[in-house]
Structure 1
């Protein structure tokens, strides 16, 4: 038995022909995150999957998160009126704390929202025992800062899970300028890295950045690999040569789906969209005012239903409005597990992954002329069942969640 998992076998109970080991998990770990189901999106999925994986490997897992509010910026209806809710969800204890919810573009309101969750965390830390292993999601920087500042002690291991490089990403998205605010956020970022005992980064670029600041820091490449049942792939029986292109995810400023709708050449494609976010209204208005364009918006759907839908498409597009250092969109790994070839339009490390593993096509980030040229060269015959199976095989052999988690557990 692996002592790392700290299993204690209490007794064996005999029920007829069945023997059940009653096991007490004494390896306790907290996960502190801004996002968690029933919220949707990459961050919520990533933290839920980590919690589930640690639970299955013998840890007693507790998640501390705000009352669900993302991406609408409003507390979900069934949680309104609460300051703190605690529940047992598939053997994982989930504490949902009060937050002043907002998805406003106003920076002050967004700051107040983050600050409110930090205050809730402080109150939670005062009244609850915190175990010796804590995983903290970053960004938001302020939430991570609160945890690093208040939870640091010699016997406690603080594990910082860095999914994006803020404030650097804010510069690329033109959210920040290099002023006093930026320098303050940079200080907070460096403080978080310094105080963390162990840093998980979802890209090589993130780890390179961290190690450039703290060369001796212990790090681990922890990508956002999905873990769901693999659907059966079937040959498409479409008789025409139109390519069914799909985007599924956040309709935010960084993804630039609204601009994509405006710039795509539709001569050989139809474009299907799933998701919600800041650009939803603009995207819907564009579709309504251009009814002759083959753009179909399907709304925001559950992840399980989405997987059933996605396998019917020929090609998935992964766009970023600008190249963001450190970013590798998690939907890349989601798509290829479904056997979907990808058209990568975001540059950086994600582009290299697509090229190196022959997962589809790449277009120069921000260059819509080049994007349309690349699409014009894709033949429907290339998007066949054989090639989809090959893409899926890469996912299963190179980007396996369980193998990655096994390596992580050895280090935490």
Structure 2
């Protein structure tokens, strides 16, 4: 049984797309006869504080569903202060180096990127002719940070760009979850071996059913309430004449969203807090459609929600541009509104009639998703090259 180590900055019980993506990869590889272990920080995301069950520990090792998980110390922080965030990444990088020094590494290692600095640490210390280093790129940094306004083109940006290129150069294989990511990498290293790995999750879908009759279109958002998603602005811009808006999750904008709802009791906006992923899968099916917004179009980014909701048969309204928009259109997974155009968004919403949200539509979404992104087929192809 071939051994594979996955190094990631996010893993359950943490929530969010990054955690779910790596969890499914680990479970999938295990089901395909790999001996899988995971190296990750003590759980702290998105709160920026070590979870209660892990406080006071320097390291925690457990076996979960046959996967060995080593959780290492980190100086946890979700501060907006760039220096504190840098210290947090450096602390985990130092923990990784300490682990590398005292433990034998398997011949196949998958490294999650971003964060760039963590990936850089792995690429620098683990490169060997006898080892296959696989870089799993879910977002293009520092480009994404530039587009989000987090970075400016200066000396620091140039340093991050050099780190990015170093990581690609050292990788024996690069996994990318979008065509744009792979195009970007091959534009830098034309001969680099790449693999398109869509994050289509492998879980048992809840039974599909038609919702009981109701008067307004029930729209749901579930996920990170961060700056990039722009849920606070969405609350302000939506036309509520024909809809209800329901929100699940946590993040930087949570307090602002809760305050906005409190100050506008006349609006049909409901914040439900955060629920477990398995519970969320059941809960989501009571809604008519889900919205997937991005405040700005981010080159290379394809929200993992697309693949998860396709598995659930949940019709999507995509509002973020880029490759995600093309996927929704091409595979008939829902509706698309022009990125950043709230007038167009409201017009699209007003065009969606309740009788369009049928059981047949949900089944079609499930079938299209399975046909195009089937998780097991992806893993079979991946298994052949690692």
2:153 to 171, 178, 181: 178
Q: Superposition pairs for residues 182-201 of structure 1, below 5 Å?
A: 182-201=157-176
Q: What CA distance in whole angstroms lies between the structure 2 residues aligned with 1:63 and 1:233?
A: 34
1:212 aligns with 2:210: no
Q: What CA distance in whole angstroms lies between the structure 1 residues aligned with 2:264 and 2:235?
A: 10
Q: 1:236 touches 1:385 (CA, 8 Å); kept in 2?
A: no
Q: What CA distance in whole angstroms lies between the structure 2 residues aligned with 1:160 and 1:213?
A: 15
2:178 to 197, 200, 203: 203
2:69 to 94, 100, 117: 94
Q: What CA distance in whole angstroms lies between the structure 2 residues aligned with 1:375 and 1:55?
A: 42
Number of residue pairs aligned between Structure 1 and Structure 2: 386
1:406 to 360, 370, 380: 380
* Counterpart in the other structure of 1:358: 332
Q: 2:7 touches 2:39 (CA, 8 Å); kept in 1?
A: yes
TM-score for both structures, normalised by structure 2: 0.99
Q: 2:136 touches 2:176 (CA, 8 Å); kept in 1?
A: yes
What is the CA-CA distance between 1:133 and the residue it aligns to?
0.3
Q: 2:331 touches 2:369 (CA, 8 Å); kept in 1?
A: no
Q: What CA distance in whole angstroms lies between the structure 1 residues aligned with 2:65 and 2:210?
A: 36
Q: 2:200 touches 2:311 (CA, 8 Å); kept in 1?
A: no
Q: 1:250 touches 1:275 (CA, 8 Å); kept in 2?
A: yes
* Counterpart in the other structure of 1:306: 280
2:82 to 107, 111, 115: 107
* Counterpart in the other structure of 2:249: 275
* Counterpart in the other structure of 1:339: 313
> Which SS does the other structure have where 1:325 is aligned?
coil
Q: How large is the Cα RMSD of the aligned pairs?
A: 0.7
* Counterpart in the other structure of 1:244: 218
Q: Superposition pairs for residues 135-150 of structure 1, below 5 Å?
A: 135-150=110-125
Q: 1:343 touches 1:362 (CA, 8 Å); kept in 2?
A: yes
Q: 2:147 touches 2:298 (CA, 8 Å); kept in 1?
A: yes
TM-score for both structures, normalised by structure 1: 0.93
Q: What CA distance in whole angstroms lies between the structure 2 residues aligned with 1:219 and 1:123?
A: 30
What is the CA-CA distance between 1:379 and the residue it aligns to?
1.1
Deviations 1:38-75 (A, max 9, x none): 11111111111111111121111110000000000000
Greater RCO (CA < 8 Å, at least 6 residues apart): 2
Q: 1:363 touches 1:370 (CA, 8 Å); kept in 2?
A: yes
> Which SS does the other structure have where 1:246 is aligned?
strand
Deviations 1:151-200 (A, max 9, x none): 00101000000000000000110000000110000000000000000000
* Counterpart in the other structure of 1:296: 270
* Counterpart in the other structure of 1:395: 369
> Which SS does the other structure have where 1:118 is aligned?
helix
1:62 to 23, 37, 62: 37
> Which SS does the other structure have where 2:291 is aligned?
strand
1:262 aligns with 2:236: yes
> Which SS does the other structure have where 1:71 is aligned?
coil
> Which SS does the other structure have where 1:220 is aligned?
strand
* Counterpart in the other structure of 1:12: none
> Which SS does the other structure have where 1:29 is aligned?
strand
Gaps of 5+ in 1: 1-24
Q: What CA distance in whole angstroms lies between the structure 1 residues aligned with 2:4 and 2:354?
A: 48
Task: Answer with 1 or 2: which has the greater Rg.
Answer: 1
Gaps of 5+ in 2: none
What is the CA-CA distance between 1:237 and the residue it aligns to?
2.0
